Amino acid sequence: MSKTEQKTTSPETSNAEASPKENTATHLRNLLQIQNSWGRWFFMGLTSVILCTLGPLSIFAPFPLLSVFLIYGRLKGHILGLGILLLLVAFSAQLDRSHLIMGIFLMNFLFAALLAEIILRQEHPITGLLKAGGGIVLIVAAIFTMIYLSSDFSLEKYLSTAISEKLTQFKTENAKLLEESGEEAAVLKDLLDKPERLVADVIPWLPSMAFATIFISLWINLFMALQNIRAWRFFTPYKYALKELVYFKVNEYLVWPLIAGLGLVLAGEHFVGKLGMAFGQNLLTGLSVFYFLQGFGVLLDFLTHVKIFGFMRSLFIVFTIYLEWRIVVIIGVFDLWFDFRKFLKKNDKEGDSL
């Protein structure tokens, strides 16, 4: 090779060797720009507020706030949360359902702060999840107990008033539907005319509904954070990954309370009365949350085993959670005895040997 050729090729070689360093430097600059972007910081908080107003979608409201804690740090996370609360208080007169939105945002801000502490303190995700969920359940129970004992507040009257307002609005908007003849219209009209019966059916379920909502909300937002770990790992290193969260195993001794709850649901009203049946329903629903998490982990391993990824994987997961969540709970219960993950690993090894 001539000297001229060496001269012409050597700059290309040096540029090729320098490009990874340049890419790394560019990536670091982009990350620092994200951390210094106050507009992005405020937009994440605004996104959380909007999610708080969207009914069922409010379960995802902690995720933007959690991202703020992980990217910008504790101080800026708390400043954002408290600042938004002050803005909601200041504009409460102009906002519809302002007190409800403030309550939902405050709860989601608490969720985000506790989830951030799990990661910032390098706790195992499952250990941190159980601590955070248990703490919030105790706080909520203590608040309701204090309100009940120190005032004339009646949850039944409050729910009756709130439900009556919603039913009146529904009657106005669906007057033509209620005027139609037919069995379905008659049942609906009878239900709308007796809101107290609906309240009586809802109240026994409230403890387990609150318990399930707290733990599922915490788990979903921690799952989303660990799934997007590349977005914040540079700012907040974390020694655990998503696989530690989804490998959820319920202790075997909890199967006995599960059986007791099932027995009370099936025969509690006959032997103990309605109180026994309500206790069984709450016990069964509360424990089902943990078996759902265990079954969901098995489901993810199965999807990996059959090589379902990308959009189809996400679609299958959403479909299963919303429509067939009971099957996921059953899978979690039977996993105590059959260990489905061990079966999947065995099949993988047999396939590799073939």
The alpha carbon torsion through 68, 74, 80, 85 (nearest 10 deg) reads: 120
Q: Report the pLDDT value the prediction gives residue 223, as an integer from 0 to 100.
A: 94
- Tens place of pLDDT for every residue, the chain, 354 residues? 444 444 444 444 444 444 665 666 665 666 666 666 778 889 999 999 999 999 888 999 999 999 999 999 999 999 999 999 999 988 877 777 778 889 899 999 999 999 999 999 999 999 999 999 999 999 998 988 888 787 777 777 777 777 777 777 776 766 666 666 566 666 666 666 677 777 777 788 888 899 999 999 999 999 999 999 988 998 999 999 999 999 988 888 888 998 888 888 887 667 777 778 888 889 999 999 999 999 999 999 998 888 888 888 888 888 888 788 889 999 999 998 888 888 877 665 554 443
Between CA 107 and CA 85 the distance in angstroms is 11
Q: Please, where are the H alpha helices in the chain?
A: 3-35, 38-52, 62-72, 74-90, 98-120, 125-150, 155-173, 175-179, 183-193, 195-202, 206-227, 242-246, 255-271, 274-305, 310-323, 325-338, 340-353
Cα distance between the two ends of the chain: 50
Provide the 8-state DSSP code for 151: S
Tokens 């994440």, residue?
Answer: 44
Contact 284, 265 (CB under 8 A): yes
List of long-range contacts for 100-105, beta carbons under 8 Å, 24+ apart: 101/49, 101/52, 101/53, 104/52, 104/58, 104/61, 105/48, 105/49, 105/52, 105/61
Contact 112, 69 (CB under 8 A): yes
Q: Report the pLDDT value the prediction gives residue 62, as an integer from 0 to 100.
A: 96
Tokens for 292, please give them.
């759902």
Tokens for 46, please give them.
């605004």
Concatenating the DSSP letter of every residue in 206-264 gives HHHHHHHHHHHHHHHHHHHHHHTGGGTTTTS--S--HHHHH-----GGGHHHHHHHHHH
Q: Report the pLDDT value the prediction gives residue 64, as an integer from 0 to 100.
A: 96
Entry pTM: 0.81
Contact 307, 316 (CB under 8 A): no
Between CA 115 and CA 126 the distance in angstroms is 11
Between CA 204 and CA 156 the distance in angstroms is 11
In angstroms, what is the C-alpha Rg of the chain? Answer: 26
Contact 295, 332 (CB under 8 A): yes
